[in-house]
Amino acid sequence: MYTLDEGYFYEKLGELMAIDSTTGFYRPIQDYVKKEIEKLGMLPEEYHKGGIQTVIGGEGNTLLYTAHLDDIGLMVRKINADGTLTVVKVGGLHEDSAIGENVRIYTRDGRIYTGSIQKIHSSVHVSEDSDFNQEPNWAKNVCVVLDEDVETATSVEELGITVGAVIALEPRLVVSNGYIKSRFLDDKVCAAVMLCMMKEIKEKNIKLNREVIAHFSCYEEIGHGTSVLPERVKDVVALDIACCGPRQTSHEKKVTVLAMDTRFPYNYDLSNELYNTGKAAGLDIVYDIFTPHYGSDGDTSIVAGHDIRHAAIGQGTRNSHGYERNHIEGIRQLYSLAMEYITKME
């Protein structure tokens, strides 16, 4: 069984988390991954729309492992008369899981400001119950308050903040007793896992049973991350979170093979190959189904019309699209499965 280099993993995870990457705002994190690929002595290939990949090794029957770099976030929809910002979500960010969070606002000309997400009626002491208990709604009663001396729309505009400015939430990465808590573990944990795989394969000159591409997509959260693929790709395996919940088999200390998500079932043969590889390696592995709000970059490739088999695997994750939580054991299991499959499976 392969062993995750946890020192390197935590280092890369911390660096990835420190880079804001709301979907569409991909350049800083893509540039970071490009440098990491080059440090490992591999050749980065950038997609015109955003996204980056490299060939890890092997020959023939090409498999593409993909993890996404983009995060859910917000964009400025309107500058209000009182200097607050009405926002629209980018990806599946629910109001309930975002209220109270600190944010960074990126202007179109490169300036950065800070603020926080608040309900318009945000103070218990001076709000009627009928106001305070309203269902939060981005368009109606939730806003971003800037950490600036602004009280008019004009004063906000003078800062360079316009409609279309990107807003990124503070991740707040915390590691405690093997548990990893942060926003955007979906999917920066898996991106860090792929960097760990690349490092071990390169340094130990590990032989792969087929050509393997490591692909880092930048548009998974809005549904077109791997819509473009090299023509030679035969299989796509998405490394993504496995959501924990009352109806689920996924667990923070296990690795999951997805059987189906909101869109459709995953390829039966490829999913079985992954599951059987994990079982043979002694991993704590389960199948699971994620509905009604889940899709992966493997799905994207199918919808785009590529003749490929697709599957998805992931570490058990609590509180998805909120302040998420993993355990390092589930990440170890994911790492072992991904490595076993490309070195043992014929």
Which of 220, 273, 324, 329 is catalytic? The answer is 220
The answer to whether the Cα torsion of 13, 218, 326, 252 is positive or negative is negative
- On whether the CB atoms of residues 217 and 66 are closer than 8 A, the answer is yes
CA distance 265 to 75: 33
- Hey, what are 284's tokens? 């704590």
- Residues 6+ away with beta carbon under 8 Å from 201: 56, 57, 208
CA distance 19 to 122: 29
CA distance 42 to 56: 7
Annotation marks residue 220 as catalytic? yes
CA distance 313 to 334: 7
- On whether the CB atoms of residues 72 and 89 are closer than 8 A, the answer is yes
Instruction: Point out the residues that are catalytic.
Output: 220
